[in-house]
Amino acid sequence: MSTPHNNAKKGDIAETVIMPGDPLRAKFIAENYLENAVCYNEVRGMYGYTGTYKNKRISVQGSGMGMPSMAIYSWELFNEYDVQNIIRTGTVGAISDSVNLRDIVIAMSASTNSAYASQYNLPGTYAPTASWKLLSSAVKITEKMGLNFHVGNILSTDAFYDDSDSLAKWKKMGVIGVEMETAALYMNAARTGKNALCILTVSDCPLKNLSTSAEERQSSFRDMMETALETALII
């Protein structure tokens, strides 16, 4: 079987998928961490690979940028390929004063300004949250690795270039960082009864005008990648 966005066949994709936004980061993880990695997807340049990490079968798949793209790829993985767990590995902009460049952020929940939840016709405001078994495992691993990490509420926004002063308002409510995919992933996981977690590296601090390079974002955030892979082993 295949979809308009993924030409993998049934069985090509493991039950647990590491999911960076950048398809080149998916390629980097496959080439540097997976043994016997096989590329199962190149449609639209959105690379997907399956291999083994410490003898466990794991896949890594790009999601693209933004909630619409994340929603498409994660929905298909959960519903068409029987994936049970997705661990997003991406970048986040820190808005909390206590969060710094290259720190790890584990998203316990994801506030959003997206209308993605409107499709469910819920009689209130839905709060997208991580799967506890993935979250608790990732926290233990980051503690064991001795990494600088933060667990909290992040903002998933539809606008990369935001023509407003909204980040300061989210900061007042304790939101620690901003990115563009997590809320859609958590909602898809909830709707399908599957598991999801986002482990992020701080790539920039927009309120402090600090940032990392594009090359760093693509290939050098190894602490995040290794945390995700080690979490995948526990599932």
Q: Which of the residues are catalytic?
A: 204
> To 5 degrees, how large is the angle CA 114–CA 115–CA 117?
110
Eight-state DSSP code of residue 96: S
User: Residue 66 is inside which H or E element, if any?
Assistant: none
Residues linked to residue 94 through DSSP beta bridges, in sequence order: 177
3 state DSSP class of 224:
helix
Q: What is the DSSP letter of 98?
A: T
How many CA atoms does the CB half-sphere of 116 hold within 13 Å? 29
Q: Of 81, 84, 44, 80, which Cα lies nearest the Cα of 63?
A: 44
d(CA 223, CA 24): 17
